Structure 1
Amino acid sequence: MTRGEGRLFDGYVAVDWSASGTPKTGPDSIWISFRTPGDSEVLENPGTRAEAVDRIEALLARASAIGHRILCGFDFPFGYPAGTAQAITGEPGWAPLWRRIAALIEEGPRNSNNRFDVAAILNASFPGEGPFWGNGLKRDIAGLARTKRKDGWGESLPPNARHAETRVRSAQEVWKLTGVGSVGGQALTGIAALERIRHRCGAAIWPFETLGDGTAHVFAEIYPSLLEPAPGDMPKDARQVTAVTDRLARLDAQGDLARHLAAAGEMPVAVHTEEAMILGMADPEGFRSCPTPHVYEYERDPAAIYRQSFATIEAEADLSALSEAARPLAIRLIHACGMVDVAADIRLSSGAVEAGRAAVGRVAGTASDQTLPIFCDSEMVARGIIARALPAGVSPVVTLNDPSVPDLAKRLGTTRSAAATELWRARLEGSIVAIGNAPTALFHLLEGIERGWPRPALILGFPVGFVGAAESKQALAERPHGVPFVTLLGRRGGSAMAAAAVNALTLGLGGDGT
């Protein structure tokens, strides 16, 4: 499968993460929104991080299996201020720090975790009090203060804020582990989870890595507060992730998502080597102001569409030359092609419509095993016939793709369409024939009837094209050999019109058939 033209992704995920130490659903818990380009959203609220990881991995695995690429946004910081990785791991860059955090964080199946102890271990890499603060446990933890250090930021410690926090002022510092708006715990547990997921599913981490060859899933840091939550009665977290996936899908559909992703190249080097950035922070207003798609005013009720269409045809087409029985058929023919002037070119034998309806009625009105084939010169004609309107025992028959047809066409020195009519002969008596494509099929059928083939109950002749189409229909109108017929003189015709003629016999007017 291929994504829509111009799109970077086939689906969009937004995850509101939680560092809760116990299972939790509802407000202030994990929410996952998954949206497809067709605007179908699945909203989930797993109770634990383990459940969330399982669901995310399963979603990505299903997408990979069908060649789809997903953009996943997570609402926790993907990095730390410049210099943090070097101080903690002895190596620059994001990857060593992610590995170190993933190696230290321990998660229980019911959300128990050691994030506060891990923060203390990481603090030991710095002189004096480390940058992490906010011990939220009742027990004291050596090396993890309950309050923020007042000095040393940007000197003995890394800066207090990343470049992202200087651009988005309401975003919280990554060092804070507890209290209103804290994101430090989410970052530690979230980075540990993503370090495992990314290796299992082959995802690229933006903005640290390129977007790959167009097939890898992409993980990006998001800040849902850049957007207004979606309306509704759900918890705010749920409405926020819904708003994010809606915005990502719209931006991608309008070709503007690439601009927000490419903005990493304009940021300081530390942003795309260590700090990470919030998707949309380079142009928050542009990220927020993605226009709402235009909603067109049009009739959506199928029955009303048919009523209005048929009323328009009756008002605009001159059907005066046709019998009352033939007018419903003419209206459906015009409806199939959209041209009211075809009414002047319709030709039919006296009682043709009645003959076709009688053939259908004979099968519909009997409890026996009697059947009525509707022989079609192509699959397109057969597909256009409304199956639910056909009584039991009445069914389209297409012989064009029968294995014997190619050799038969060679022996007869004609087209496959013409040769395929030879296979109708055994059941041709009393049948209905609907030809919407091949003039040679109509010519060959007329020749066969003249040679003594069984006679169908009705021939619906609508070959289309520039070679033989007009001539074959003229031949049907002039020499039908006593077989009732309906045709359209000239080059016009086609599968839709042939199928419409059949539908007129079974549906008539007033149905909501499509």
Structure 2
Amino acid sequence: MTGFDTVLVVDWSAASKRAPKTPSKDAIWMGLVSEDKPQEPIYCRSRIEAEERIAAIFREEMQAGRRLLAAFDFPFGYPRGFARRIIGSDNPLLLWDWLAERIEDSESGANNRFDVAQDMNAAFDGPGPLWGKTHRDRWPGIPYRKDGIHYTEVPEKRTCDRVGGTSSSCFQLCYNPTVGSQVLMGLPMLSRLRRIEGVAVWPFEDWRDARVVLAEIWPGTIESQVKQAVAQRGVEVIRDREQVRLLSCALSRLSAARLDRMMTDLPPEALEEAWVLGAGHEEELMAACDDPLKPPPLRDDCFALPAGVDWTPVDAALDLLRERLRSVVGQERVPLAQAAGRVLAAPVTARRANPPEANTAVDGYGFAHAGLGAGDQVLPLVEGRAAAGVPFAGLVPKGHALRVLTGAALPEGVDTVILQEDVTPGEGRIAFRGGLKKGANTRRAGEDVAAGAVVLERGRVLTPADLALCAAVGLADLPVQARLRVAVISTGDELVEPGAAARAGQIYDANRPMLAALVRQMGHDPLDLGRVADDRAALRAALDRGAAEADAILTSGGASSGDEDHVSALLNEAGAMAEWRIAIKPGRPLALGMWRGVPVFGLPGNPVAALVCTLIFARPAMAVLSGANWSEPQGFDVPAGFAKSKKPGRREYLRARMRDGCAEVFKSEGSGRISGLSWAEGLVELSEDAAEIRPGDPVRYIPFGSFLGG
């Protein structure tokens, strides 16, 4: 496999002193992009700190199940013949180990690289090949300048340096660019890192199935882009920081196919000298290096749009559905007990008030407020009591009280009730303090719902609470819309039924059971029309059956414009394609159209995208088709429990859940990561604008229950 989930770019340093605490130039900078999410560039003050940080990143990414490309900005090898003169072998990895045994480094930056370089030069006749030093009078075996060095025993530059046009030789130890010193201080680190299980070195080792791949990169490949970014962002920008940021973003945008071309078909010299990733492919790397704040071009994307066709914004697509759709189902009356989840077909009015008569709200004693005097009160009790369902038949005289229980109809002569806990009972009388207001602890007749009032409007999806209200006002049955019938179809030769024997290249149909369950949860009746192969005639027959037996059709797969995307092709042939290519992530390939007068929602084939597009587009549309009102999901602004750098251009929905008062998102945004659907409890919605989200920033969280609650 060639594709990578994460890209790490390291700008190395051979400095002999520790970098300052405040981020600065000429230090070690790292750019990190994980699953298309650029992270804040990492600043390290020493090589020892950087190595520990890099090893930690390797472990974290592998534990998370992500594949990492780690690119370093110094040569992984020397020109052919050099390693043999030093160690007696052409194996560059043995030279890495040789250097790791000899190079000494410290947290302060002090190191012995010039001593080691002098020992290396001793293996050659004449001056060099390594040259350049910090002190003219030290290390006599190292020439101060290149003058007089003849590169006859080994070439001055590697083959990839000549192909890629790199700026200096790995033999140059001083004076910018000091690539030679970076090599001496970097290869020992790589020697240790490559011993971590799961790490391989490109192109020296079998790297295709490695979890972490080490590769050499040359930042000069994107020099013009770096200059432009620095100029745009101002003089205070640290060039090295921008360099790793842009280069990591560029590498992360390269498709697996492009990376495969860059990393294969190398000349034989690469197995000894190494190779610069992107050498000979500079234009491709530059093209991928557009600033992430701009909408990126969709290169090597199977869902790329035809020239001149713009994406349709999410809101525009929703407006189209809202404007064009209407109820397509009939009406019926059903008993109250069968009405939950059904769509009310007409307004309903109260047959009687709720409550039907004034009653007491507490257990206590009732009396006429007008019969009270000033100050503390002592009232004689009338014999008897009033209870719920057992009213008091007589009149309570003014200046007297009656024992009343919660829910009891107020007897004649009673307009106020005192709580029993506020009363001192005596023989045939009660005492309590004054100050009670008229009407205290009572409910007025019809104070909740008046007789004849509209209690529920047409288009409402009935809830258990609605049934309680309808029962309270005397309704025994309700007018409802007939259930919307929704046909569900999966398309693709690669699909097999869950649990069946799957051949190589086949996958189980995860979408159909998910979509059928969603349809049922939304209150509609699913019609399972099964799997349809990538055959236009078979799909046409399935759509014909769906139009004959259902009120709407959901398909998954085949909604884009490829050779096997028959859903969109058939809708186009019928002249019934309404809109597609929605600016949403996940779920760009969404077909919206009509087939024999029945709405068709052509969903993406990836389960995550299929679910998101169903919730965002098909859910409100099918609600209207079922006679319900158009509904917007209720979102909540909550603190983010994650960081994300979002590109502009598309509205994004991240699988999310609430934990400890914050919205956390699933570790991967990949549309094929089905486990994230089960993990999530809702979605975080990000607008079309570019955004830099940090933990604690407000984001919009929409629980799944808000989509599916009617």
TM-score band, normalised by the shorter chain?
0.5 to 0.7
Deviations 1:81-138 (A, max 9, x none): 1111110011222022111111111010121111111100111111232311101136
Answering whether residue 345 of structure 2 is matched by residue 351 of structure 1, we say: no
Residues 127 and 293 (structure 1), Cα distance of their counterparts in 2 relative to 1, 3 Å cut: same
Contact 1:49 1:111 survives alignment (8 Å): yes
Q: Are 1:221 and 2:219 counterparts?
A: no
- Contact persistence 1:35–1:246 (CA under 8 A): yes
SS of the residue corresponding to residue 140 of structure 2 reads: coil
Listed as ranges, the matches of 1:22-61 within 5 Å are 22-24=17-19, 25-61=23-59
Shift of 1:162: 0.8
Within a 5 Å distance, the mapping from 1:375-394 to structure 2 comes to: none
Trace 1:83-102 onto structure 2 (pairs within 5 A).
83-102=81-100
Instruction: Indicate the structure with greater helix content.
Output: 1
Amino acid at match of 1:237: D
Mapped to 2, the partners of 1:169 and 1:312 lie a distance apart of 55
Answer whether contact 1:263 1:282 (CA < 8 A) is retained: no
Question: Alpha-carbon deviation of 1:182?
Answer: 2.1
Deviation, structure 1 residue 183: 0.5
> Which residue pairs with 1:270 in the alignment?
269
1:488 aligned partner, one-letter code: A
Among candidates 249, 252, 273, match of residue 252 of structure 2? 249
What secondary structure does 1:177 align onto?
coil
C-alpha distance in structure 2 between counterparts of 1:80 and 1:148, whole Å: 17
Listed as ranges, the matches of 1:47-126 within 5 Å are 47-126=45-124
Q: For the residues of structure 2 that align with 1:16 and 1:39, how far apart are their CA atoms?
A: 20
Matches within 5 A, 1:323-472: 348=345, 351=348, 456-457=467-468
- Residue 317 (1) aligns with residue 326 (2): yes
Deviation at 1:496, TM superposition (A): 2.6
Distance 1:456 1:178, change over 3 A: same
2:327, 2:64 → 1: CA distance?
A: 52
Q: Which residue of 1 aligns with 2:495?
A: none
Paired with 2:100 and 2:147, the residues of 1 have a C-alpha distance of 26
What residue is the counterpart of 1:482 in the other structure?
476
Partners of 1:136 and 1:31 in 2: CA distance:
24
Deviations 1:451-470 (A, max 9, x none): xxxx95389xxxxxxxxxxx
> Does 2:176 correspond to 1:180?
yes
For 1:185, give the aligned amino acid: S
Q: Which letter does structure 1 place at the counterpart of 2:28? A: I
**8 Å CA contact 2:11, 2:244 repeated in 1:** yes
Aligned match for 2:189, one of 193, 196, 218: 193
Deviation per CA, 1:131-156, whole angstroms, max 9, x where unpaired? 111011365113112112524312xx
Distance of aligned partners of 1:242 and 1:456 in 2 relative to their CA distance in 1, 3 Å threshold:
same
Q: Is the 8 A contact 2:5 2:67 kept in 1?
A: yes
- The verdict on how the C-alpha distance between 1:311 and 1:105 changes in structure 2, with shifts beyond 3 A counting, is closer
Amino acid across the alignment from 2:92:
W
Tell me if 1:235 matches 2:238.
yes
Question: Which residue of structure 1 lines up, in the alignment, with residue 485 of structure 2?
Answer: 491
Give the conservation status (yes or no) of the 8 Å contact 2:38–2:249. no
Please say if residues 76 and 274 of structure 2, whose CA atoms lie closer than 8 Å, have aligned partners that are also in contact. yes
Query: Cα offset for 1:316?
Result: 5.5
RMSD of aligned Cα (Å): 4.1
Counterparts of 1:508 and 1:132, CA distance in 2: 72
> Which amino acid is 1:137 matched to?
H
Select the structure that is richer in strand.
2
Offset at 1:490? 5.5
Q: Is the 8 A contact 2:166 2:218 kept in 1?
A: no
- The 8 Å contact of residues 17 and 31 in structure 1, kept in 2 or not, is answered as yes
Among 206, 209, 227, the residue aligned to 1:210: 206
CA distance in 2, matches of 1:510, 1:94: 59
Pair 1:351–1:248, CA change in 2 (3 A) = same
Aligned to 1:448: none
Task: Note if contact 2:130-2:171 (Cα within 8 Å) is conserved in structure 1.
Answer: yes
Question: Partners in 2 of 1:145 and 1:38 — Cα distance?
Answer: 46
Partner residue in 1 for 2:6: 11
Q: Aligned residues, how many? A: 361
Q: Residue 19 of structure 1 contacts residue 186 of structure 1 at CA under 8 Å; is this kept in 2? A: yes
Does the 8 A contact of 2:344 with 2:478 survive in 1?
no
* Pairwise CA distance, 1:314: 6.2
User: Is the Cα–Cα contact under 8 Å of residues 483 and 523 in structure 2 kept in the other structure?
Assistant: no
Other-structure match for 2:537: none
Which has the larger displacement, 167-176 or 77-86?
A: 167-176
CA drift of 1:216 comes to 2.6
Q: Hey, what's the Cα distance between the residues in 1 that align with 2:140 and 2:468?
A: 96
Give the structure-1-normalised TM-score. Answer: 0.61
Distance 1:508 1:209 in 2: 57
Aligned to 1:293: 297
Q: Within 2, Cα distance between the matches of 1:90 and 1:315?
A: 78
* TM-score under structure 2 length normalisation: 0.45
Amino acid at match of 1:258: D
- Runs of 5+ in structure 2 lacking a partner? 291-295, 299-304, 332-340, 356-360, 363-460, 487-518, 525-618, 636-705
Contact (CA 8 Å) 2:127, 2:148: kept in 1 or not?
no
Matches of 1:207 and 1:511, distance apart in 2: 52
8 Å contact 1:458–1:485 — kept in the other structure?
no
Q: Partners of 1:507 and 1:491 in 2: how far apart?
A: 18
SS in 1 for 2:194: helix
Distance in 1 (CA, whole Å) between partners of 2:42 and 2:253 is: 21
> Which structure has the bigger radius of gyration?
2
Which structure 1 residue ranges, 5 or more long, are not aligned? 1-5, 323-332, 334-344, 360-365, 368-435, 437-444, 446-454, 460-480
